[in-house]
Chains A and B, each alone.
Chain A
């Protein structure tokens, strides 16, 4: 989905909730009078030369926004590090080059439940339905904001928006308008470099972003875990009739280590994309082509042959917005997706045609109430048709309060590996003296989820906000590896729609700006999952998570940030060499990050130091992963 399409969805679907509570210190009179007193009143300073006062992002409930200021203040070198502090998101550091992200308790290795978009282009691999975060061809410095929707969103996005959407929005050429070079490096032989340049002249703009990233293993400094180079280029042009055309392309190439259940394997990958967007008035068209070419070491101990994966995805989408008056908007669209996949992991080359249609209606009978309804119909060649409806109502009885209720249904189609995998797990004597055949199951059902949410936001002033979101969901037909089948003599494992689960929980968030140069944020998440979907029904996500953030930005040029996050105990079902599962807990842990910077504004230079896991709390976030260690880095950022 294009950046514009997503913007319209967020603006139309959920922004009204906060818009309705958009009144400040004093409630405006019913008939606001335009008198000269309006221009005589003192007005607080919002922007000084080159910097803005701290602000609270105006995001509606269940959408968390990470702004460019927060991105810069974090010193993060990877996108999952930015997502760690989002309420309701589970971010798991498996190793120094492997992270998994999911929402509300559904995190796992090779997580495939969240839709990740970059400017509206899906970034997941249809091959297994998940995202390899280190293989995204986007530079941190070029990101303008990251919007996280923590609830099922298939009504507009289709499959993979199962537990939510993460949309990475990059800066436009106009927002960049210069060149910026950044270098950051330190422990673990970590080195991050980036160059971003953008300019706009008249109706044409362009942006270039280049970057490299290098990281060694946490546990073995002689083992290189990540070494990638990436780049992307964007050009856009606005025509006299207000039509806009943009073309974009990008590529990332290198080696990353990924934990494939039992051990880390090196993956040499080249992923690339080309995208085109055309907008004219209420019409929007988007087309993109994603390509991935990967070669990795054998996934299983004792394997002899490298794994090859070559995939292509072509996606076309058209959307039309109909304004039926100031209070009534109707959006509808069509999507076609074509996938091809060749791999030594699956039985043969496969091609897949996916078609979908969707609509969304927003109606505001009175300014205090906003009603939204939407639905999507997706057709999958194996599963058939999936129907995903969604509805919500937003009610703002007073200017500072917003209530929201929503119900939605989402689904996740079986991936190529779920349906067609055909590999042999080598013998692991003495526990498993014979090989295990792992084969896909083409007759799988889609995973399905229904979510109910209640939200309340209180936003009385621009410097204070708190909100609470309560959710409950149930999902069914979860796809997992099934039990070993010995009926043919040798053990065979396939995928099955195993079971269901129910969960409920809530997320509390508060933001406070006690002074223009200081901001505090905190959030607490609670989730309780009743597991009937894993093999032993005993895998449990952390019940409690809490995050604290503080940002300080002084006029003198000094800035500092400090964040702390606590994650409760997690119980995992881990496959063993015999093909069975055992229970392993990862303990609760607290991790603190900090960044200190000095900005020499006149020289457009910033010097900084950043520490991740500042107090070196060595802990496992996945039982078979690496113990996370402290990483101290320093760097500089120069604009010209």
Chain B
């Protein structure tokens, strides 16, 4: 109940901030037409809709903005035609929700600033081809330090963290190694050549670790069999897993971090307003989620005998397996 009230207060405060920023824009554009913003949402996933709704509702009260929401459906027409249609009304800003629409916009839209959101793709290579001054956004990638810090808070006293990574995750490994060594934790990591090596690597490190850290990795999260194996093997050996996303906590990991899509929307809306007001408050083209949630599957964590501090459990979101 208290956490619910707290959440609503946070949302209202952020809306007030947005209204304030909007007023600044309004003053700036006192005598101009409302700024057109084209919000292009990638299809299929409910999470895109959640973010879009949050963006639209955050910007709705602003008379100087006109937001047009379009679903990215380049199957029916060519991508070039799609973007021609989107840009024919000369929007001042294009907001893309999701990787599909973002990639397409970067490739086909020139001369219009882009704000992307709800993206997990590695866009750096694409961003390098464009002038990064006119593209920025909010990624879903939760920083390594944040994940490990939250894991340490939920499981105080852990000394050894297990991690399996492929060659494409070297940077994550480096960051994890730096964080853990600064904080007196031992990172027991195994580099693997392919997903075929995962069972052996996991069975090697399980006896050595207090917790298995499972950050986002295509090799693991993409493959149902591997996910199934890791969850079972860790559970049967009483090793808790710290993963990413609510859905995997519902599947059976005791702990997971995730993002609040509504807050992502509000964060994106603030970025949109800053972009429109030309107030560049950050030099970074990519922002990370500012609000990271902790999910606890209490049934599984109790089975594993985990002692999660009360103050952490109270702030976390409780999930049940299968729901």
Contacts and interface: CB of A to CB of B under 8 A. Distances in A.
B252 A50 contact: no
Given A16-B196, A52-B236, A40 B321 contact: no
Interface in B119-171: 119-122, 140, 157, 159-160
Contacts of A45: 250-252, 321-322
Contacts, number: 181
A33 B218 CA distance: 6
Contacts of A178: 305
A39 B298 CA distance: 21
B166 to A, nearest CB: 9
A177 B245 CA distance: 28
Interface residues of B, number: 68
B232 A24 contact: no
Contact of A47 (B99, B222, B231): B231
Given A45-B250, A48-B322, A11 B204 contact: yes
A12 B204 CA distance: 11
Nearest to A32: B218
B194 interface: yes
A36 B99 contact: yes
Nearest to A47: B252
Interface stretch (B18-26, B29-37, B106-114, B185-193): B185-193
A43 B302 contact: no
B229 A462 contact: yes
B162 to A, nearest CB: 12
Contacts of B186: 242
B157 to A, nearest CB: 7
Interface string A37-60: 111111111111110100100100
Contact of A36 (B46, B120, B226): B120
A367 B226 contact: no
Contact of B196 (A19, A39, A144, A244): A19
A15 B322 contact: no
Interface string B234-258: 0111110000110110111100001
A42 B199 contact: no
A326 B321 CA distance: 36
Contacts of B121: 33-36
A490 B199 CA distance: 63
Contacts of A32: 218-219, 222
Contacts of A144: 236
Contacts of B81: none
A47 B299 CA distance: 9
B217 interface: yes
Contacts of A23: 195, 223, 225
Interface of A: 4, 7-8, 11-12, 15-16, 18-20, 22-25, 28, 32-50, 52, 55, 58, 67-68, 144, 172, 174-175, 177-178, 202-203, 238, 242, 244, 326-327, 364, 367, 396, 459, 461-462
Instruction: Give 10 nearest A-B pairs by CB, closest first.
Output: A49-B299, A47-B252, A32-B218, A24-B225, A39-B245, A36-B120, A48-B321, A24-B224, A19-B196, A326-B193
22 contacts: A16-B196, A25-B225, A32-B219, A33-B218, A34-B120, A36-B47, A36-B98, A36-B119, A39-B221, A40-B47, A41-B247, A45-B322, A46-B251, A47-B253, A49-B300, A175-B237, A177-B238, A242-B188, A242-B208, A326-B191, A326-B197, A396-B196
